[in-house]
Structure 1
Amino acid sequence: MARILLFTGKGGVGKSTVAAGTAALSAAAGNRTLVLSTDAAHSLADAFGTAVGAEPTEVAPRLFVQQVDAQLRFEQSWSDIQRYLLTVLDVVGVDPVAAEELTVIPGAEEVLALLELRLHARSDAWDVIVVDCAPTAETLRLLALPEALGWYMTRVLPIERRVVKVLKPVLNRAAGVPMPGDNVFDAVERLHAELDEVRGLLSGPQSSVRLVLTPERVVLAEARRSYTTLSLFGYRVDGVVANRVFPAENADDWRAGWVMAQDDVLAQVEQSFAGLPVWRSVYRTGEPVGVPALTELARTLYDGVDPLAAPTGEGPFRVTRTSDGAIVRLRLPNVTRAEVDLARHGDDLVVTVGSYRRLLTLPAGLSRHRVAGARVEAGELQVRFEEQTLVDAQERTT
C-alpha cells in the first residue's frame, strides 16, 4: 500500500511548492513517487519548471508528476447522470446553456479528480503518492458525501429503483418528464462506490493531511478551521508547515518588525496545533524552481525528520467500551462544547460544528443503546452510550 500524503492550505501560501519539494525528497530517497495535482489552478509545472500533462510525466529518477484533467474525469464519472438531468430540464423549458450550468455541482471537478488517486493507489506502481489539493479543505470535506448519502444509498435507492422500473410508463405520463433508467441508477451507485473507496483510502492508516500556512492571523484562522473540519470528517492531520518565515538574523528595522509579528503568530500556531510537528521554512530571496531546488527546500524544511513517516496512534474516530455501554470519541480540535450540536437519528449520530455536518453511522453493537451524555474535553468530543434497558431502569427509579 502506497503512503498517501495530501497537502492543503489557503491559496497563495506555497502549498504546491512544499508538496513538490516533499515529493522530490521522497524520490531522492529511492521511493517510486508520484505527485498529483487535483487543483484546477495547476502549479506543479511551474514548480518543477517543466511541461506536465494529464498523464504521469517523469521529471527526475523515480519522480513522476501529473496534473489531473478534472474536466475529463468529470465527464467520465458524471456524464450519464448529467444527460438525464439535461433531458428533464429540456422538457420543462430551461435554456440549454443555463441547464448545463445547473447540472454541474460546485467543486465536483476537484472531488472527482481524486478518483485518479484511487486508480494509482490500486495500481501498486508507487511507494509514495503526494497530492497537491485545491486550496482549503473544501475538496476533502466534499468527500463526506458518500457517508452522508449512505442512508439513501442503502435504504431508499433500491426501493426507488424498483418503483420506477415497475411504474415507469405511468410515471412518465403523470409527471410529464422522463424517469431515470437503469443507466442513471447504475451511474449513481458506481460514483458513490468509487468516492467511498477514495474516502476509505484517505482516512486509512497510510494516509494523512499536511496543512501549509504562512504566519499571518487570517491564514492561521483558516488553518485552524481546516484542522477541525478534517478531524470531523475522519482525516488524520500529521503536521503543519509554516512557510515564508522571516529569518531573525541580520534583520533591518523593517524586517525586524515582521519577525516580531510572525513570532507572535507562530506562538499561536504551536498552541493551536499542540501535539503536531510544526516545520518552518524560511522566506527565500528567490522562488525554488526545479527538482534540485525543491529537494533542497524540503531537506532543510524537515531537517533530518522522516517526512513520510506514517501517522501513529488511533485515528480521529474511535469507540471504547465501558462496563455499561460505550463511549464514541471524535477529535474536534479548537472547538468548545457550545460550538457542537449533537443529534441521534436512528443508527446515525449527527455532529454539527458551525456550518459543517457529519453523519456518523454507529457500530451495529450500539443500536440498542441511547445517548446518555456528551462533552468536549481536550479537543475531543465524547458521547456516552448506555444500554436502553439500563437507562430505562434508572429513569423508573427516579
Structure 2
Amino acid sequence: MSLILTFLGKGGSGRTTIALAAAKKMASSGSKVLLIGQDPSPSWGMLVGASPSPSPVQIAANLSVVQQQTTLLLERSWDEIKDLESQYLRSPTLKNIYGQELGVLPGMDQALALNSIREYDKTGDYDVIIYDGSGDLATLRTFGIPEVFSWYIRRFRQVLTESDIGKILSPFIQPITSAILNVSWTADDLVNKPSNEANDILDQGRKALANPNRIRAYLVTTDDPVAVTQAKYLWGSAQQIGLTVAGVILNQSELTDTLAAEFAPLSLTSVPSRIGEDWQAVINALPNFQEGVNAPKPLTIEIASNQVRVFLPGLAKNQVKLTQSGPELTIEAGDQRRNIDVPESLRGKPVKGAKFLEGYLIISF
C-alpha cells in the first residue's frame, strides 16, 4: 500500500512546486514515487520536465509522473459499458455512441481521478503517490467520495429496493459504476449484500482516509493574509471529510509567531524560493513526509463520556450547523456536509448540547 499525499492551498501559493519538490525528495531517499497531475495543460508538463502523458513516465530514478486527462479515462471504460449494457438490456441504446463523443458530467472528473489513484495504489508499484489536484474544495470532494457514496447507499437502500424508480434504474447501475470505478456492481450489490465488493471498496476508501499513515494533506501558503485565510478554511474543510492535515508549508515566507499562532497546533516549515532549475534548497527545507503524524484527529467519539468531538479549525461558530436525524448527525461547515454514523450505544439518544471550543465542536448526548 502506498502513502498518498496531497497539498491544499490558494491558487498561486506554489502547491505544484511543493508537490514536485516533495516527489523529488522522497524519490532521492529511495522511495518509488508517482506524481499525479490533475492539470491537463502543457504548463504542468513544462514544470515537471515531461511531455504530457496519460500513462506514467519515468523522469528520474524512482520518480514517475502522469498527467490525468478525464476524457481519456472516460473513453477507456466506455467499451466496457457498452458490453455490459448489451448483457443486461435486451435493446442496447449505447452501441452507436462512441467514447470520443462523451462529455464529462460535473463531478465525474473527481470520481475518475479518485479511481485512478486507487488503481495505481492497487498495483503495488509505488511507495508514495502524490496527487497534485486543484488544491481546493474539489480536491477535498474527490477524497470524500467513499464517505458520501456510502451515506447514499445507507440512506437510500430501502428506497432503491421498493420504489419504481429504483427498479427502472437498476439495469443501469452496473454500466455506470463500471464507467466511473471500473467495478461491476449491480443493484443487489448496493442494496442487499452488506459484505460485497461494492461495500468493501467503499469501506477501504473510508478507512484509508481516516488513517493518516495512508492518506494525509499539507497546507501550502505564503504570508499573504488572503492565502493564510484560504489555507485555514481548507484546513477546517478537510476535517469535514475526515482527511488529516499533517502540517503547513510556508512557501517563500518566513516563519513568524503570528503565523505559528494562526495554524497551531500544526508544525510549520518555511521553504525558500526555487532558483531556476536548482531544486536542492527547496528539497532540503521540506519536512520529512514519511515521519509519523502528530496532528489532531478530525473526529473522536468518546463513548464513556457520551461525546463526539469534531475538529473544525479555521471556522467560526456561526459557520457551523448541527442537525440530528435518526442514527446520524449532520454537520454543515466549510460549504460541506458531513454525516456521522454514531456508534450503537449512542443511537437513539438525543443531543443534549453542543459547544464550540478551541476549534472543536463538542457534541454531548
TM-score of the aligned structures, taking structure 2 as reference length: 0.79
| Pair 43,282 (structure 1): closer, same or farther in 2 beyond 3 Å | same
Which residue does 1:202 correspond to in 2?
Answer: 209
User: What is the letter of the counterpart of residue 203 of structure 1?
Assistant: A
d(CA) in 2 for partners of 1:63 and 1:50? 12
SS in structure 2 opposite 1:276?
coil
Q: What do residues 52-103 of structure 1 show as CA deviations (whole Å, max 9, x unaligned)?
A: 411111111111111122222345569969xx9xxxxxxxxxxxxxxx77x7
Displacement of 1:197 in angstroms is 4.4
| Pair 275,155 (structure 1): closer, same or farther in 2 beyond 3 Å | closer
Which residue does 1:373 correspond to in 2?
Answer: 353
**Which segment is superposed worse, 266-275 or 183-192?**
183-192
Which residue does 2:173 correspond to in 1?
Answer: 184
Which residue does 1:66 correspond to in 2?
Answer: 66
| Residue of structure 2 aligned with 1:335, choices 311, 315, 318 | 315
Which residue does 1:311 correspond to in 2?
Answer: 293
Matches within 5 A, 1:1-398: 1-41=1-41, 43-75=43-75, 104-105=105-106, 107-157=107-157, 159-161=159-161, 163-164=163-164, 179-184=168-173, 187-188=176-177, 191=181, 197-206=204-213, 207-245=215-253, 267-284=257-274, 286-288=275-277, 293-299=278-284, 301-302=285-286, 305-312=287-294, 315-322=297-304, 325-353=305-333, 355-385=335-365
**Which segment is superposed worse, 368-377 or 57-66?**
368-377
d(CA) in 1 for partners of 2:276 and 2:205? 33
Maintained 8 Å contact 2:34/2:130: yes
* Percentage of matched positions with identical amino acids: 26
SS in structure 2 opposite 1:25?
helix
Which residue does 1:174 correspond to in 2?
Answer: none
d(CA) in 2 for partners of 1:330 and 1:234? 9
User: What is the letter of the counterpart of residue 128 of structure 1?
Assistant: V
Displacement of 1:343 in angstroms is 0.7
RCO (CA 8 Å, sep 6+): is it higher in 1 or 2? 1
Displacement of 1:222 in angstroms is 0.9
User: What is the letter of the counterpart of residue 204 of structure 1?
Assistant: N
Consecutive unaligned residues of structure 1, counting only runs of 5 or more, are 85-99, 169-178, 246-261, 386-398
| Pair 197,43 (structure 1): closer, same or farther in 2 beyond 3 Å | farther
Consecutive unaligned residues of structure 2, counting only runs of 5 or more, are 86-101, 182-197
d(CA) in 2 for partners of 1:63 and 1:142? 24
Q: What do residues 203-227 of structure 1 show as CA deviations (whole Å, max 9, x unaligned)?
A: 3232210111122111111111101
Question: Aligned residues, how many?
Answer: 330
Quote the RMSD (CA, aligned, Å): 3.3
If you compute each CA radius of gyration, which structure gives the higher value, 1 or 2?
Answer: 1
Maintained 8 Å contact 1:10/1:213: yes
Displacement of 1:188 in angstroms is 4.6
Displacement of 1:339 in angstroms is 2.7
Displacement of 1:274 in angstroms is 0.7
SS in structure 2 opposite 1:59?
strand
Displacement of 1:202 in angstroms is 3.3
d(CA) in 1 for partners of 2:234 and 2:77? 27
SS in structure 1 opposite 2:59?
strand
SS in structure 1 opposite 2:291?
coil
Which residue does 1:259 correspond to in 2?
Answer: none
d(CA) in 2 for partners of 1:41 and 1:310? 35
User: What is the letter of the counterpart of residue 39 of structure 1?
Assistant: D
d(CA) in 1 for partners of 2:349 and 2:175? 35
Maintained 8 Å contact 2:220/2:250: yes
d(CA) in 2 for partners of 1:42 and 1:6? 21
Q: What do residues 233-279 of structure 1 show as CA deviations (whole Å, max 9, x unaligned)?
A: 2110111111123xxxxxxxxxxxxxxxx78xx55432221121211
**Which segment is superposed worse, 155-164 or 133-142?**
155-164
